[in-house]
Amino acid sequence: MKIAIIGYGNMANALLNGILSSNDNIVSDSIYIFHNKKNDTYSQDKCIFLNSGQACNKKFDIILLCVKPKDIESAINENKNIFEDNQVLVSIIAGITIESIKKTIEKKVSVVRAMPNLCAIFNESITGICSDDSLSSDKKKYIEDIFRTIGHLKEIKEDEMNSFTALFGSGPAYIMYFIEALIDSEEFSSISKEDKSLLILHLLSSTSKMLFITEDIKELRSKVTSKGGTTEAAIKTLEENNFPKILKKAISNARRKSLEISK
Ligand SMILES: NC(=O)c1ccc[n+]([C@@H]2O[C@H](COP(=O)([O-])OP(=O)(O)OC[C@H]3O[C@@H](n4cnc5c(N)ncnc54)[C@H](OP(=O)(O)O)[C@@H]3O)[C@@H](O)[C@H]2O)c1
């Protein structure tokens, strides 16, 4: 398959690294990258970097759109001549619907929307993916293989995209916020902040490993929360202060925001 990428920032970089470092030899042809940086044309590692597709006469099967939402129109206009019927456009742009991409492109293309998260940088993304019905099954599988190079993949319906974004797109920041609060707690402040942070990260990593082999997380937590013990005292405080309710509200506000942005 011949692949082009429009926009070369954090996410495109993560995707490209994932594709190139995959053992599955996903691409045999060079990948073209249109990055919008004036007079900056070079090739490296099966990649050809060009300012735009304006003077490019190559044909592409798949074009990945990796610009910010505000730049989608300029990115499409500046690369107009590389779009043609029967291509697949893969957009990772938050909040831009399949329908609106099809309208803007004005060609008979199939569109895939994918929502990776920040952990794509370490090939540990949780990516939600949906496509329009016109996508053939072999191309669908090929595109899924591309996103598997940067982590885990979940096929979703387009109307679940806002929910998915609220939970998994913003998810890393919720976990970071919780970790920050543990680090900032007044307990065990006799050691340096760096040492405390490292211990808390080990706590996160070991707990997460344990949860992967646990069938029922709530049941396990109840088991380790002894009646009248220290953990119970802490959990009781979190519950009395509506921690679960606040978190639910925070996530539903993220979903609402995602919906608002997509309008
Ligand atoms: N970062 C995340 O965690 C994340 C997660 C899921 C989805 N996304 C989505 O992924 C997309 C990219 O995010 P990002 O974090 O990678 O952004 P980014 O680092 O800002 O990358 C976007 C790149 O697109 C370039 N660009 C702008 N206009 C262009 C044009 N006309 N032609 C070609 N390139 C152009 C920008 O160049 P200039 O700097 O010169 O403008 C920039 O290098 C966004 O739509 C975002 O919603 C991001």
Residue 220, domain CATH: 1.10.3730.10
125-131 and 110-115: which strand pairing? antiparallel
Place of tokens 């639910």: 248
Residues 74, 129: one domain?
yes
Q: Which of 144, 161, 178 is the last residue of a domain?
A: 161
Confidence of residue 227 (pLDDT cuts 50, 70, 90): very high
Residues 188, 230: one domain?
yes
How far apart are alpha carbons 257 and 165 in whole angstroms? 10
Beta carbons of 114 and 127 less than 8 angstroms apart: yes
Q: Which of 161, 182, 205 is the last residue of a domain?
A: 161
Residues 131, 212: one domain?
no
Residues 24, 127: one domain?
yes
Q: In this structure, what DSSP letter does residue 166 have?
A: I
Residues 42, 149: one domain?
yes
Question: Which pLDDT score, from 0 to 100, does residue 124 have?
Answer: 96
Confidence of residue 25 (pLDDT cuts 50, 70, 90): confident
Residues 235, 144: one domain?
no
SS3 state at 171: helix
For residue range 66-106, what is the model confidence (pLDDT) as tens digits?
Answer: 999 999 999 999 999 999 999 999 999 998 999 999 999 99
Residues 202, 255: one domain?
yes
Question: Which pLDDT score, from 0 to 100, does residue 102 have?
Answer: 93
Element at 245 (helix H, strand E): helix 243-261
Helices and strands counted in the chain (H then E)? 10, 9
Question: Which pLDDT score, from 0 to 100, does residue 248 have?
Answer: 98
| CA 67 to ligand 1 centroid distance, Å | 4
Minimum CA distance residue for ligand 1 atom 36: 7
Question: Which pLDDT score, from 0 to 100, does residue 160 have?
Answer: 97
Residues 54, 180: one domain?
no
- The structure's pTM equals 0.92
Residues 222, 173: one domain?
yes
For residue range 142-199, what is the model confidence (pLDDT) as tens digits?
Answer: 999 999 999 999 999 999 999 999 999 999 999 999 999 999 999 999 999 999 999 9
Q: Which of 32, 68, 73 to mutate to test the pocket of ligand 1 (most atoms within 8 A of CB)?
A: 68
Minimum CA distance residue for ligand 1 atom 38: 36
The gap from C-alpha 14 to its chain's centroid, in whole angstroms, comes to: 10
Mean predicted lDDT score pLDDT of the chain? 94
Element at 148 (helix H, strand E): helix 137-148
Confidence of residue 5 (pLDDT cuts 50, 70, 90): very high
| CA 230 to ligand 1 centroid distance, Å | 46
Residues 52, 140: one domain?
yes
Residues 18, 143: one domain?
yes
- Please, which residues have CB within 8 angstroms of residue 89's CB and are 6 or more apart in sequence? 62, 63, 64, 65, 83, 101, 105, 109, 110, 111, 112
Minimum CA distance residue for ligand 1 atom 39: 9
Atom of ligand 1 minimally distant from the CA of 12:
16
How far apart are alpha carbons 213 and 210 in whole angstroms? 6
Packing angle, helices 193-212 and 171-184, rounded to 10: 130
Query: What residue ranges line ligand 1, CB within 6 angstroms?
Result: 6-12, 34-36, 66-69, 71, 74-75, 78, 92-94, 115-118, 169
Q: Which of 112, 142, 161 is the last residue of a domain?
A: 161
88-91 and 47-50: which strand pairing? unpaired
**CATH number of the domain enclosing 149:** 3.40.50.720
Residues 124, 245: one domain?
no
* Tally of domains within the chain: 2
| CA 8 to ligand 1 centroid distance, Å | 7
Atom of ligand 1 minimally distant from the CA of 37:
40
Q: Which of 52-56, 57-61, 231-235 has the lowest mean pLDDT?
A: 52-56
The tokens describing 228, both together, are: 């009248």
* Of 77, 64, 61, nearest in space to 9 by CA: 64
Which range marks the domain in which residue 120 is found?
A: 3-161
Task: Please determine, for residue 39, whether its predicted confidence score (pLDDT) is greater than 80.
Answer: no
| CA 9 to ligand 1 centroid distance, Å | 5
